[in-house]
Amino acid sequence: MNDIVESFNSFFVNVGPDLAAEIPECSNNEMESLIDINSKTMFLSGVTETEIIDVINGCKNKSSTDCFDIDMTLVKQIIHSIVKPLTYICNLSFQTGTVPNKMKIAKVIPIHKNGNKHIFTNYRPVSLLPQFSKILEKLYNSRMDNFIDKHKLINEGQYGFRAARSTSMAIIDAIEEITNSLEGKKHAAGIFIDLKKAFDTLNHSILLKKLDRYGIRGVALSWIQSYLTGRQQYVKMGEFTSGYLDIGCGVPQGSVLGPKLFNLYINDIFNVSKLLKLVIFADDTNVFYSNDNYSNLVTNINCELSKLKTWMDINKLSLNLNKTKVMFFGNYNGKPDSVNIEGVVLDTVSEIKFLGVTIDSKLSWKPHIRHIQ
């Protein structure tokens, strides 16, 4: 059994780096100019005891324990006894731009999804982070959120992990785009892009460069660098525990900051093409385009998708061409021309699951009604 937990840990740790290594090396200096340099700089304000108590009281009472066998219920029970030293630690962390190494250890539980139980890919890792790490992350996150919102850093086309945003709003945005195109007698198409393990392949050095351009620099950036580096994980199955392994890329699964950092990481994808309409929910990337002329529609899509692919290669995001689909909307009855990315022809479909809703090329909603009955 010890060999099994060690093998699980090795598999989970290497998924991101192995996938990133398969992505073609690509350099394009023009891509840096996609992010305007923000002249304003994020400042990490001091933490108060009251703020920490409020953050902890806002956490859910989960019984799952971290690597120190501590759960949030216990933290809530003892918070008034430890709030003073905890406040000191959090303030010291923000002043020095460092995250304590003890807060960077993940306990990973493999959960079987389906299929053969002897195949690693049929398991998903559930990462349990230190309770005090979550508190520190929430404190940083509130400061980063204020900075992001004040300077409107995240594109309006990103609907994931944002306040007052939802999949429903993303779906409405996409459907309105398609409907308006068809009402304007235009040909319309959607490309539903599948990214492989996007949160796991995220490149730390690229992220840090982007954050600097967005204004997260100085001590605030040093804190993120410390937060991302030196992270370790181990796997626990029943009474068996693996050794620790270093995590080389990606954002921490189950973390507070991970989704926000990912949003900033992919934010400049909206600036790659002036023609395409992008509707994104976290890593769920969907592209829409319309044109008066059908031939121009396909030609322009192919050209713009090539730009997106280059951007993804530069940013170490793995495009799954086999699962990326194309849909032509409206009443076009001819044989669809080939939409391709670097010579690989994408499958054309008449219906697809889009953010939990099944849409079809006629926008009839019949397939969706069928699926929910």
- Of 179, 138, 165, 110, nearest to 282 by C-alpha is 165
pTM of the model: 0.94
Dihedral sign for Cα 165, 171, 305, 18, please. positive
What is the rounded radius of gyration, in angstroms, for the C-alpha atoms of the chain? 23
- Of 247, 261, 265, 7, nearest to 127 by C-alpha is 247
Q: What residues does each domain of the chain span?
A: 2-157+199-265, 167-196+271-372
**pLDDT at residue 30, rounded to an integer:** 67
Q: Which two tokens stand for residue 122?
A: 């049929």
**Using CA atoms, how far apart are residues 207 and 203, in angstroms rounded to an integer?**
6
**pLDDT at residue 170, rounded to an integer:** 96
Question: Which run of H or E residues covers position 268?
Answer: none
b/e per residue 76-97 (b: at least 16 CB within 10 A) = eeebeeebeebbebbbebbeeb
**pLDDT beneath 70, residues of the chain:** 28-30, 332-336
**pLDDT at residue 335, rounded to an integer:** 63
Cα 219–chain centre separation: 24
Per-residue pLDDT tens for 98-141? 999 999 999 999 999 999 999 999 999 999 999 999 999 999 99
Q: For 357, phi and psi rounded to 5 degrees? A: -120, 135
**pLDDT at residue 313, rounded to an integer:** 94
- Give the max Cα distance, the chain: 72
3-class state of residue 106 by DSSP: strand
Per-residue pLDDT tens for 163-215? 889 999 999 999 999 999 999 999 999 999 999 999 999 999 999 999 999 99
| Sheet strands (E) in the chain | 105-112, 123-128, 187-193, 195-196, 232-237, 240-241, 245-246, 277-281, 284-291, 318-319, 325-329, 340-341, 344-345, 347-348, 351-354, 357-360
Whole-Å CA distances, 104 to 122, 198, 263, 269, 293: 26, 21, 21, 30, 54
Phi and psi based region of residue 229 (left: phi greater than 0; alpha: psi -120 to 50; beta: remaining): beta
**pLDDT at residue 332, rounded to an integer:** 67
Q: Which two tokens stand for residue 104?
A: 């960077």
**pLDDT at residue 225, rounded to an integer:** 99
CB 59 within 8 A of CB 72: yes
Residue with tokens 């324990």: 65
CB 198 within 8 A of CB 262: yes
